[in-house]
Amino acid sequence: MFLEGKRAVITGSTSGIGLAVARALHSKGAKVVLSGFGDAAEIAALCEELDASHVGGDLSKREGVEELMAAAGDCDIVVNNAGMQHVAPVEEFPVEKWDAIIALNLTAAFHTSRLAVPYMKKAGWGRIINVASAHSLTASPFKSAYVSAKHGLDGLTKTLALELATFNITANCISPAYVWTPLVENQIPDTMKARNMTREQVIEDVMLERQPTKKFVHPSDIGAMALFLCRDEAANITGSNITVDGGWTAQ
Ligand code: NAD
């Protein structure tokens, strides 16, 4: 239980990857604070399962992030995971979707970091883990906002790593390729439209086509990597962008 006594806030942890990370950190003794939207009864059940609290604000708004961090209290571990996607050609890309994706996938991580770092410095220990994407390292068509935000998150992570290197605080990205979660399932209809494809073609010819393993990554794979980054053995891993992508970015 090497995380006993540590407190972790995981954004977007009512579902998918964030929930898997919360489960992993809880399994080693961390006190976890959940965030994100969802059915009230399901969230209450998750809070009971993980002995967690939950803050449900909108993290695409600065006030939402500030409320989360105030309610979470002093956190040793911050996992910036909340994210959204929209798929459309650039000339049709809804401007409000661009703004929302940049705000949630990138700016929220700046706000949680700036708010968490003073306590981490005082504590002499901290972990900032940013769930980026293979799209923080490569691009795909029709995902201009997402690719831009994730590349930005990689840049933010490197900057934090340099600023915090002497404080025993690490900052890293974990970059998955396709993980089977609601975020992925929900982008199938728009991708069908943007590429004029069937659902099966989107899964096989778009999503798994570039994934050499031809399999989706499991949310628990990301949880396990996040857990490793919290270990003392990972103290010298900082400013890294660690791919968990079935070989996607090796191509
Ligand atoms: P998901 O849709 O299953 O979960 C997203 C979580 O974020 C949910 O808890 C949701 O309630 C929360 N959320 C969404 N909008 C929010 C907002 N405005 N304010 C607060 N919370 C909000 O998604 P996921 O697939 O688990 O994705 C998690 C992260 O992993 C994202 O940053 C995503 O970009 C990244 N990622 C996912 C994949 C994939 O294939 N699933 C691949 C690479 C990267």
In a domain, 207, yes or no: no
Please state the domain count of the chain: 1
pLDDT at 88: 94
pLDDT at 98: 98
207: CA distance to ligand 1 center in Å?
17
pLDDT at 78: 98
In a domain, 200, yes or no: no
Instruction: Give the integer Cα–Cα distance in Å for 251 and 247.
Output: 7
Instruction: Give the integer Cα–Cα distance in Å for 59 and 150.
Output: 16
Quick check: is 119 catalytic? no
Strand 77-80, strand 126-131: pairing: parallel
Cα dihedral 96, 102, 104, 107, rounded to 10, equals: -130
In a domain, 137, yes or no: yes
How is the chain split among helix, strand and coil, in percent rounded to 5?
A: 55, 15, 35
107: CA distance to ligand 1 center in Å?
15
In a domain, 36, yes or no: yes
The ligand 1 atom at the shortest distance from the C-alpha of residue 135 is 43
Find the domain containing 140 and state its range. 7-179+218-246
Nearest CA, atom 8, ligand 1? 12
In a domain, 141, yes or no: yes
Which of 98, 142, 146, 178 is catalytic? The answer is: 146
In a domain, 154, yes or no: yes
DSSP-assigned letter for residue 104: I
Residue 93 phi, psi dihedral angles, 5° rounding? -65, 120
In a domain, 33, yes or no: yes
Instruction: Give the integer Cα–Cα distance in Å for 182 and 16.
Output: 7
Instruction: Give the integer Cα–Cα distance in Å for 12 and 83.
Output: 7
Q: Which of 183, 215, 225, 248 to mutate to test the pocket of ligand 1 (most atoms within 8 A of CB)?
A: 183
CATH number at residue 175: 3.40.50.720
In a domain, 145, yes or no: yes
Q: Which of 34, 63, 84 to mutate to test the pocket of ligand 1 (most atoms within 8 A of CB)?
A: 84
pLDDT in tens, the chain (251 residues): 999 999 999 999 999 999 999 999 999 999 999 999 999 999 999 999 999 999 999 999 999 999 999 999 999 999 999 999 999 999 999 999 999 999 999 999 999 999 999 999 999 999 999 999 999 999 999 999 999 999 999 999 999 999 999 999 999 999 999 999 987 888 899 889 988 999 999 999 988 988 999 999 999 999 999 999 999 999 999 999 999 999 999 99
Ligand 1: residues whose CB is within 6 Å? 12-18, 35-38, 58-60, 81-84, 104-105, 131, 133, 176, 178-179, 181-184
Host H or E run for residue 8: strand 7-10
Nearest to 112 by CA among 96, 134, 127, 133: 127
